[in-house]
Amino acid sequence: MEEIFDLSIKLHIFFAISTVLIAAYILYLFYADIKYVPLTRKVEFITIWYYVVLAALAFTGLIALTVQKFIFSFIVILMIGASVLIFITGIKEYKLFKKTRVKDIKSQERYRVFAKKKYLWDIGLIIVIGVISAIFIS
């Protein structure tokens, strides 16, 4: 059981770092001066991988939680809350994206601003929770 726990924690850390890197790349795309249509094509493709890695992050966390016999600590509750928050803001971003029109500059700008905030918050949340968990677990 200890080997499964160690492997799931290592994979959890790997997926957390991967999530931050992918989110940073998406954030870079939003800050780069790219026209709306090419930007959305790139972001749509990369966002799929972002949520696949995020799901893997949640899954490895669930594996680690089951090995610990579902003992909830402050860190675990923080991680679950962050996962739910990231998924909810992802749904909100997708809805805003679908409402955005190609010729409507204001809706494009509204989408860009929301997406920038969302990915900044995602990166910050994952890093802060990672630091807190490293402090409390070590």
The predicted-structure confidence for 89-108, as pLDDT tens digits, reads as follows 999 999 999 998 888 899 99
Query: How far is Cα 118 from Cα 137, in angstroms, rounded to an integer?
Result: 28
H or E segment to which residue 80 belongs: helix 74-99
What's the confidence (pLDDT) of residue 138?
Answer: 61
What's the confidence (pLDDT) of residue 22?
Answer: 97
The predicted-structure confidence for 103-130, as pLDDT tens digits, reads as follows 889 999 999 999 999 999 999 999 999 9
Q: Which residues of 49-82 are buried (b: 16+ CB within 10 A; e: fewer)?
A: ebeebbebbbebbebbbebeeeeeeeebebbeeb
Domain count, the chain: 1
Domain that holds residue 128: 2-137
The predicted-structure confidence for 63-75, as pLDDT tens digits, reads as follows 989 988 888 888 9
- Residue 62 corresponds to which amino acid? L
